[in-house]
Structure 1
Amino acid sequence: MTTMRKTIISLLFALSGAAGVAHADTLAMQDNAPDRYVVVKGDTLWGISGHFLKQPWRWPEIWNLNREQIKNPHWIYPGDVVVLDRSGATPRLKLLKNERAGSNGEVKLSPRIRASDLDNDAVPSIPLTSIQPFLNKPLVVEENELLTAPRVAAGPDDRVVFAVGDKIYAVNMPDPKVGDVYQAFRPAQPLFDPKDPDHKRVIGHEVTYLGDVVVEKPGQVVTLRVKTSKEEIGIGARLVKANEAQYLNYAPHAPDRDVHGLVVSAYGSVAEAGPMTTLVINLGAGDGMDVGTVLATWKAGRPIKKESSNEPDLFTPNERTGNLFIYRVFPHFSYGLLLDSTEPVNVADEVTNP
């Protein structure tokens, strides 16, 4: 079996998925797709692909890359030239490298798989600035995590709120070590699974990030110092160990199975979410979500007003409103960035395969 044939088979398998979610339709090119595009600082792979494709998330297909090859695609930089090759049966994109090219300027794409922060000037899949605040800070926490989280129990005096530089004491902290950094947060409202008809099943709790604290002296009662403070940290605040922000720059792909979920909340508790808003959905790792999964958002049909009781219940068709790029995954929910939308997205709107 030739290398090219192996690549084609791998590509088809990655795109079809184990549950038979296939993309047999032809890639739809933009009517005014350019012959070439020069990459500039601030570009994203999604945006670059939008110059060529009507469905930007399908760019791995036009690059002819399989799922493993497109993880962490640190291989496009400002100054590179993306060329649309129309010579074959299907259009393909090629890359002319700026200052790193060979004698003819063209390179073979061999993306490296790396689990690291996005570095240098490599072009990210989606706008990094839109998701940076949520990569290592809690927005929603699991029910069990909230119940077992360490808590701020006291200060050095009778005060109940603390700011930068203050000493505080915490309990229920497992295996603390000097220098460990914890994030303080205040629990807000519970998030109920919209799929539960009784609206009683809690899938997580919205939280407000307050600041960072650092361990100074371990013990049954741990001594900490407030390192940074976005808001005042009060008695009863919960703590979660800080992790280094790590953005896995996966390229977009459809789920490997048929999925159907709902929007649980929008960052900032906005009633109507627009582009570049982080949404929380009630699908997590157990539902097949991973970083880079793309979902379609849908507005549910509205009931048709009846003129008589004899008329059947009818609804307007569901309407597709946008594309959601999943960038952080938890067991029972995920964070996704709404990259584009034709109308506002609301809580309880549907998300499905694109």
Structure 2
Amino acid sequence: MGVPWGELAADAPARYTVQRGDTLWGIAARFLQQPWRWPELWGMNLEQIRNPHLIYPGQVLVLTRAGDRARLELAGDEPPLVKLSPRVRAEALDEAIPALPPQVIEPFLADVAVVDPQAHAQAPRLVAGPEQRVLLARGDRAYARGQTGQGATLAGEPLEADRGERRLLDIYRQAQPLRDPQTGELLGYEAQRVGQARLVRPERQELDAQGRPTLEPATVDIVQAREEIRLGDRLLPARMRERQPYIPHAPADEVEGQVVKVHGNAMQMAGQFQVVALNRGREHGLENGHVLALLKNRARVADRTDETRAELLLPGERNGVMMVFRTFERVAYALVLQVTDGVKVGDRFTNP
């Protein structure tokens, strides 16, 4: 196990003390020319990559050599401890260091969901507020429907409690279609969470005194609002925030795809530590921690040295590296870690 000595960074230290604020990728870049080969340097097998030994501030990493290969080890096996008196007690000083800058990826772990077209079309929506208001805030009571139409045209599933319990629902807005840059195929809708609501009473249909069917929407209470909630906002089952270690590693199988979206206000090109959406996901074998190489689009240019102005197709040069940190069925999100030029929609990616 380990990596060839020649794969180490030119100034790789013999020892390094992990600092608060470090990331796994940043530490890997200190030791390796290609930081994504961190698991090889650490001597991890596939199971260890999925359930890695965590690294804590204060621990010392030691670079060892066996023949022509290098390997990284901990100088001690346990997280740094502090002893408190008069009681005998020991506890970890810090949380394990993250693989990626948490402030960059946290919003995508907590507030972004990709839903398939059918789920988006059928998602319940807010239909009324108190005193006919169209803007709602935390603490307001509102009303929602999962169905459409009325009477004979009633369709869809009503918004109901889950096994009699009051359901917690995420409120989403601005669901944007994500389309494959090459085929135009709709991959899903990207929805931004703006708040949460708790279901108080389910949606139901009753008969009035004249025997006519009457629709009663579901009752929800707005329990969280990051911005004003609006009528028409969609409701999806609340989900727990994903927290897991990300260990950079190459996909076992060949992967190719394109960038679907660049994230950021008015962004057309992504730089280092910016997020991009990809047109590949779990069904294509992508998983959290996969490192992918970014390639520039193949540009067509005219040969100005040729009187005929022959059209040339330039090769797609390597442009950088990114790491997948969240996957859906047909879409994944990745963080750009190294880049030469900006990354734009349509740029290709492949194995590193």
Same fold by TM (over 0.5)?
A: yes
Equivalent position SS for 2:292: strand
Give the Cα separation in 2 of the matches to 1:53 and 1:174: 54
Q: Which residue of 1 aligns with 2:276?
A: 279
Structure 2 counterparts to residues 64-143 of structure 1, below 5 A:
64-97=43-76, 121-143=95-117
Q: How far has the Cα of 1:341 moved from its partner?
A: 1.4
Q: How far has the Cα of 1:264 moved from its partner?
A: 0.5
Give the Cα separation in 1 of the matches to 2:344 and 2:95: 35
Query: Does the 8 Å contact 1:248/1:291 carry over to 2?
Result: no
Give the Cα separation in 1 of the matches to 2:275 and 2:67: 39
Structure 2 counterparts to residues 140-151 of structure 1, below 5 A:
140-151=114-125
Give the Cα separation in 2 of the matches to 1:68 and 1:346: 34
More strand by share: 2
1:181 equivalent among 136, 154, 168: 168
Structure 2: runs of 5+ lacking an equivalent:
81-92, 147-158, 205-216
2:285 equivalent among 282, 285, 288: 288
Q: Which residue of 2 aligns with 1:162?
A: 136
Give the Cα separation in 2 of the matches to 1:49 and 1:131: 19
Residues 81, 26 of structure 1: alpha-carbon distance in 2 compared, 3 angstrom cutoff? closer
Equivalent position SS for 1:75: coil
The C-alpha deviation readout for 1:125-156, integer Å capped at 9, x for no partner, is 22222211111322543222211211112123
Q: Which amino acid aligns with 2:198?
A: V
Query: Does the 8 Å contact 1:74/1:123 carry over to 2?
Result: no
Structure 2 counterparts to residues 188-207 of structure 1, below 5 A:
188-196=175-183, 199=184, 201-207=185-191
Q: How far has the Cα of 1:309 moved from its partner?
A: 7.7
Q: How far has the Cα of 1:89 moved from its partner?
A: 2.5
1:212 counterpart = 2:196? yes
Equivalent position SS for 2:50: coil
Equivalent position SS for 2:169: strand
1:245 counterpart = 2:241? yes
Higher radius of gyration, 1 or 2 = 2
Give the Cα separation in 1 of the matches to 2:49 and 2:245: 9
Equivalent position SS for 2:27: helix
Query: Does the 8 Å contact 2:260/2:278 carry over to 1?
Result: yes
Give the Cα separation in 1 of the matches to 2:321 and 2:10: 20
Give the Cα separation in 1 of the matches to 2:176 and 2:32: 40
Q: Which residue of 1 aligns with 2:224?
A: 228
Q: Which residue of 1 aligns with 2:319?
A: 321
1:32 counterpart = 2:15? no
Q: How far has the Cα of 1:60 moved from its partner?
A: 0.5
Give the Cα separation in 2 of the matches to 1:303 and 1:193: 21
Q: How far has the Cα of 1:174 moved from its partner?
A: 4.7
Equivalent position SS for 2:221: strand
Give the Cα separation in 2 of the matches to 1:174 and 1:318: 52
Query: Does the 8 Å contact 2:5/2:70 carry over to 1?
Result: no
Give the Cα separation in 1 of the matches to 2:131 and 2:20: 51
Residues 264, 100 of structure 1: alpha-carbon distance in 2 compared, 3 angstrom cutoff? closer
Give the Cα separation in 2 of the matches to 1:236 and 1:79: 50
Structure 1: runs of 5+ lacking an equivalent:
1-7, 12-23, 102-118
The farther-off stretch of 247-256 and 51-60 is 247-256
How high is the sequence identity, in percent, across the aligned residues?
A: 38
1:44 equivalent among 23, 32, 40: 23
Give the Cα separation in 2 of the matches to 1:349 and 1:271: 12
Query: Does the 8 Å contact 1:137/1:183 carry over to 2?
Result: no
TM-score, normalization by structure 2: 0.82
Q: Which residue of 2 aligns with 1:104?
A: none
The C-alpha deviation readout for 1:144-169, integer Å capped at 9, x for no partner, is 22112111121233112211111111
Q: Which amino acid aligns with 1:224?
A: V
